[in-house]
Amino acid sequence: MQKRTRQTLDVIFEATAQLLQSGGGKGLSTNAIAERAGFSIGTLYSYFRDKTSLLRALVLREFARQEAEFGEVLEAHRGLGREAIVRAAVRQGFAPFAGRHRVRRYLLGLLGNDAELQKALHEMVDRMTERMIATVGLRSEAMPAARRFVLVRAALGPIRAAVMREHRLVGTRELEDELVRLMLFLLEPDPATSS
C-alpha cells in the first residue's frame, strides 16, 4: 500500500512538473494535473485538498531530494580536493526539479513567501552548509557563524536570480566558475582564528 501511494504521488508530482515546464503555470489546475497523471480528480483529491497543497508538497519533496543528492555528490567528491567538491556543489545548485528552471521559477514566485517552506529551506541549507564544511575537511566551529550562514547561500542567491530572470548565464561555465571562486574564498581559513 505504501509503495503504491509513493508511486501515485510520484506520477502526480511528475505530471505537475511537466505541466509547469510546458506552460509555466498557465492552465494549471487540479483537473489538468489529474488528466496528465492519468488519474481521476477524486484520486488527486484523496491526496491533496487543493492545488496549493499539492504544490507545497511538491516543493517539500524536492527539498528532501535535493538535500539527499547534495550529500551524495559531496561524498562522491570527498578526497578529490576542495575545488572539485565546491564545483560539484555549485552544479548541484542548478539541479532542482531535474534542471527544469521554468518549474523552479513558477514555484519560487508562487510559494516564495510561504513561512513554512522558507523555514524548511533555511534548515536544509544549514544542514547542507555543515555537510560541505565537513567534506572539505574544516571544523565548523572554527568558521565564523556569519561565514557559515553565507557560504552556501552566497551561491544559491545568484543561481536563484539567474533562474528567475531566465538569464543567459543559467547553467554556464562562466557563472559556475564565479560561484566556485566565491565559495573557495569563503572556505579560506580566517587569519584571526588560524593563528
Residue pLDDT, tens place only, 135-161? 988 888 888 888 889 989 888 888 888
May I ask the CATH class of domain 1-48? mainly alpha
Q: What does the alpha-carbon distance between residue 94 and residue 101 come to, in Å, rounded to a whole number?
A: 8
Question: What is the structure's pLDDT at 193?
Answer: 53
191 pLDDT exceeds 60?
A: no
Q: What does the alpha-carbon distance between residue 168 and residue 102 come to, in Å, rounded to a whole number?
A: 14
Question: What is the structure's pLDDT at 195?
Answer: 44
Q: What does the alpha-carbon distance between residue 86 and residue 93 come to, in Å, rounded to a whole number?
A: 11
Q: What does the alpha-carbon distance between residue 177 and residue 195 come to, in Å, rounded to a whole number?
A: 30
Domain boundaries, the chain: 1-48, 58-189
